[in-house]
Every structure is written in structure tokens, then in C-alpha cells.
A and B are shown apart, each in its own frame.
Chain A
Amino acid sequence: MSQMDPNSESLVSARDLHFDYWLDLVPVQALRGVSLEVREAEHVVLAGPSGSGKSTLLSLMGLIESPQTGSLWFGGRSVAQLDERAANRIRRHEIGFVFQSFQLFPTLTAAENVEYFLIQQGLDAARRRERVRWALEAVGLWERRDHRPLELSGGQRQRVAIARAAAKKPRLILADEPTASLDQKTGAEIIELLENLNKTLGTTLILATHDPMVLSRAPRVVHLQDGLIHQVRSAQQKKERG
């Protein structure tokens, strides 16, 4: 197997991915041959009902899981060829995560939560401070930088999580159900923030969701069902269908 992605325009390239896991002693076929190309600076939404495989696909593209069969390429590198250190390095520098449950450190302030992963990137204190300010201003929370997660609303916590992901200046942001814990208005604001990052910085954005509001705004929606890609709709196709 070549180490170079045959489709070098793609940031993420998945070919015939399979992934099984065990859930309470029952084998689950989460992915049954998924192929997908995501280009640099693209905004893609993975949609589908619970258990359709969208979160698993997101995990594979974020190098959290390794494909069992099939091939996966990230930034032109074959994921199968990466050792643990190399995968860590990619996750540390090139991928930002936004989870449904925010995953913030409750004992750190908003600013400290954003700063923590910048330490891992090896940035000096001055650059870290600069990035933290930029990221928190981008999500409109600079004024609340000294608040801890418990002192923030759900929407504000998700903004901190986005700021944390954005501060890393990653090539790719993966967001798993980022609006699921939020009301519709706050959810729309969160999606707007993510879209801005995509538009202004060219950060590739892949979201997994079944929120209709998010789906309606997405330029490209990949529908998954039973571990297979059921349908791919672009903005153009959506427009044509009215």
C-alpha cells in the first residue's frame, strides 16, 4: 500500500471502511463499506438516525479509532501507517474536537480550558495568551474568560469548547452532535460560529448530527443508514429539489 493519498486534494479520504464493535455482548456492524472524500476547507455534515454509524465515522476521521478494514488517509498520509506518536501529533496539531457533552475541565476557567491544549502544542506563554484571547473573542466570551464551566450556560460552555478547538488552529474540526444539548436559538449560534471558522480560516468542518436546523444550513450532507452511505446531497442539489 502506498503511503501517499491517491486523491491528494482531499484532507480526509476514506475507502471502503468497515468497523465492528461489541455492545453489551452483541456485535454491532457500525460501518459496512463507507467511502468518502472531504476536501480541505469543506463543510460536511454526517446525518442519520442513531446507530447509523455517523459518530463511528467521525471517530475514524479524527484518528480516535483505527479502521479494521478499508483505507483511510489524512492530509495525504495513510492512517494505517501512523504510529501512536504520529497519530497523537496529528490530533494535537491538526484536529480540533467539539463534543456534545463539551468535555471541559470543570476546575479550569474558560481561558485555562482553551490554553491547556496549547501547552501540548509547545507554544510559548505569549503566543498562548494571544491565541486564547483570539479564540475567546471569536466566540464572544472574552469577558467571561475567568469563569469556570459551572458558572456558564450550556451554550457558553459549547462556545468555550469551540474556542478550545479553534485555538489549536487545526486543519479539521470534528463536532459530534454539537447542538444536541442546546436550545434551538443557541444551537443556531453555535453552528454560525463553526461556519465562520470554516469560512474565515478555511478550517475543514465535519459535523455529525440529526438536528434539522444544522442539516438545512449544510452545503453538503452525507446521509448514513445501517453503516452505509445512503445519500449524498450538495447545496446545489438541495436548491434544485427546493
Chain B
Amino acid sequence: MNTQVWARAFWVLKLSVRNLMRQPRRTAAVMLTVGVGSASLFLFQGFNAGIMNQYRDNSIHARYGHGQLHVKGYRDTVYEKPWEHWIEDPSRILASLRKVAHVNQVFPRVEFFGLLTNGQITVSGRGTGVDAVEEARFFQTLNVEEGKMLDSEPDGILLGKGLATALHLRPGDRVTLLGNTVNGSLNGADLTVTGIFHTGSKEFDDVAFRIPLLQAQALLDTPRVESIALGLDSHESWPQVATVLAREFPDLSATEFAVLDKIYYQNSVDWLKSQFGVIRSIILLIVVLGIFNIVATAILERRSEIGNLRANGDSKLGILALLVSEATLIGVVASVLGIALAWLINSTVLAQGILMPPAPGLTRQFYVRMELDWNMALLTFALGAACCWIAAVIAGWRVTRMPIGDALRSN
């Protein structure tokens, strides 16, 4: 009995393989539909992943890093004297943070309000004290319109575009920054404009400026820092790093960039995901219907042959096995070819990626590369093969249920 089953299976496979060559144009049409459908779906998934990943990386490198540390509860409360709730002894903490696995860079920051004057005009602004050298290596999306970044200038200042315009300042000009120390007394610093930047947000560019952290701490007369942003080796390391931080720095809380940047990043991502979901469903529907149609047509064209098989005593199930085996074979080969085609297109025509306009919250265009991976390939392959399989089962079931006489009279 087993020998018979194997002999039958061998013949089914043999006939299936040969039948692929029987009508090359029909086979090519089916394979083209399945292959192009699989390739489209694969590329679209790659595009989705690429745009999301690129947008995430741009957001991380725009402002917040992979996440930030604050004193516990600081972000949730409005204090009369916020500096009293800043991070104490930052040097020790920074040294410890640098030893945490996956943490590559640390960015201590303070934010404060101050008055900027050129001697004739005085404008209020919101300043950030940063480790300029370290930040310049990580935050690459700041748009410096004129001049250069802060770099290692100890008395440098980088001005937002609106602020520089209001004060009629250009790179190389001197400006005086006045502010209150944490003790309430007035303090000041004479600084040199190194550059002028914009972020795309006029409200922000009208008030924002950056100075070296040490200069800001001297102005505020505090050794503390308000926050420490982190640059990790990968965004995937965040959960692991967050666990270590929670254990080693119980007084601090670590917040991921997506939470810090919820309005621009997370909402945009959620919105894009919904949009892509709809588009993917439409593509999927077109691909599935295309495959169903062409596989079903190819099977229905063979009614006469199926009638002959049934007339000679072949069972419905046996014929169905033959049709399904053929369609599955086509599905498997065409899906693999489609996936290979997508990979080829991605590494040649689309090697540079696709130039996209600035995403929400960002100011620069960026190239999106199709990020294809094996999981996607496997999913696409399974979909292509399964579509052919299901289409063959449905069409085969219909055609094998036809009266034999009608099937023989077909064609």
C-alpha cells in the first residue's frame, strides 16, 4: 500500500513539474503575477520598515538621543525652583553611565532662561547648556545656516535664527548673556556667536540658543545638570539599558525618546502605521485576487483533461492533489523569484534609497532604503505559495465536481 502511495506521489510530482513546461506562456503569466505580486509586497514591507527606521533614527539624532535621565518625578512636576531637583554630582553619574553596556555617549544638559543683548537691543531667550563636542558627533540634524557648531569654543553661542535676526547678530559677533543664578543673583557672560541654526519651528528658533555646559553652569552657579541624554549602540538596546539604569540609579528615571517626543515622533509613527496598514491591505488584496484569478483560470482551462482523468477512474482527491501540487510548485518558485527580484532591485536601482521630504518635526529630506529582512522574505514567500495553494484548492474543487461528461465536452 505504501509503495503505491509513494508511486502515486512520485507521478503527481513528475506530472506537475512537466506540466509547468506544457504551456510556457500560461505558466509564465501565472509566475509573473505571483512573482511581481510577491516582489511588490516585499518591497513595500521593506519601504515601510525603512521609512519607520529612518524616521526613528532621525528623531533620535535630532534632539533627545535614545532616551534621557532626570531626577525621579522631575518630568511630571512643575517646581518653583526646578534647579533644586536637577541631577547632583553629574561627573560621578556620567562616569558610571559610560560604563553601562550599550551606552556609547552621554550628553549632560541644562535648560534656562536668559536675556541676550547686543548693547542696543535686549531679547529674552531659552538656552541650553550642552557638551558641544560630544553632541556634535551624535546630533547631526541641527541645521546650521551660518557659521559653525559650538564645537570646543569655551565662550561660544549658537543662536536660533529668529533670535539672531532680532539681535542683528552674525557669526563672530559678540553678545552678552544675562541670567539669574540658582541663588537669585544676576550673572552675565560675554559670548561670541559661532553660528546660527534653525529647526523648522519658528517659535523655537525665535527663542532658542545653545552655549557650552560649563558656561551655563557658571552662569547659573550650579554644578548640577538638568538631564542626561544617552546615545546607545542601537535603539534595540534601550530596554536592557533602562533595566540597568533603574537598578543602578534608583533616584533617576530613564525615559525613552518616543515618550519624550510623543507629539512629533510617536503620533507620526502611529499615524503612518495606520496609513501603511491600509495601503498594505489594498496591495495584498490586489495581489491575492490577481493570483486567485490567474491560477483559477489556468485550472478551469483544463476541464477536458480533468474529465479524461475522471473518466479513467482517477478520484476527485487524486486530481485535486495534482492541481494543488502544480499550483504550489508555481507559487514556491515564483515567490522565490519575486523575492530575489525585489532584492536585486533594492541593491541596484534602489541602492541609494528613495528621497523623501522632511518628516514631521524634522527639517531635512532623507533617503529611505528598503530594509528587507529574512522574516519579511519568509512571510512574503508563505503568502505567495499559500495564495496559489488556496486558489488551486478552490478552483480544483469546483472543476473536479463538474459532471465528467461536461468536463470532457469543454474546450
Contacts and interface: CB of A to CB of B under 8 A. Distances in A.
B403 interface: yes
A117 B313 contact: yes
Interface string B94-135: 000000000000000000000000000000000000000000
A119 B4 CA distance: 7
A49 interface: no
Contacts of A59: 404-405
Contacts of B190: none
A128 to B, nearest CB: 9
Interface string A119-149: 1101011000000000000000000000000
Q: What bracket does the count of chain A residues touching chain B fall in?
A: 20 to 34
Interface stretch (A9-17, A100-108, A214-222): A100-108
Contacts of A91: 310-313
Contacts of B7: 119, 125
A199 interface: no
Interface of B: 3-4, 7-8, 11, 15, 18-19, 21-22, 304-305, 308, 310-315, 318, 403-405, 408
B86 to A, nearest CB: 80
Contacts, number: 65
Contacts of B312: 91-92, 97, 117, 120, 168
Given A59-B405, A107-B21, A119-B8, A88 B15 contact: no
Interface in A41-86: 56, 59, 62, 64-65, 85
B8 A88 contact: no
Given A59-B405, A117-B313, 6 more contacts: A56-B405, A88-B315, A89-B313, A91-B312, A95-B313, A108-B18
A56 B15 CA distance: 31
A117 B312 CA distance: 7
- Central interface residue in B11, B304, B405, by most chain A CB within 10 Å: B405
Nearest to B407: A64
Interface string A147-168: 0000000000000000000001
* 10 smallest beta-carbon distances between A and B, as pairs: A92-B313, A107-B18, A91-B313, A103-B308, A64-B404, A65-B405, A88-B313, A107-B22, A59-B405, A117-B312
Contacts of A119: 4, 7-8, 11
A16 to B, nearest CB: 20
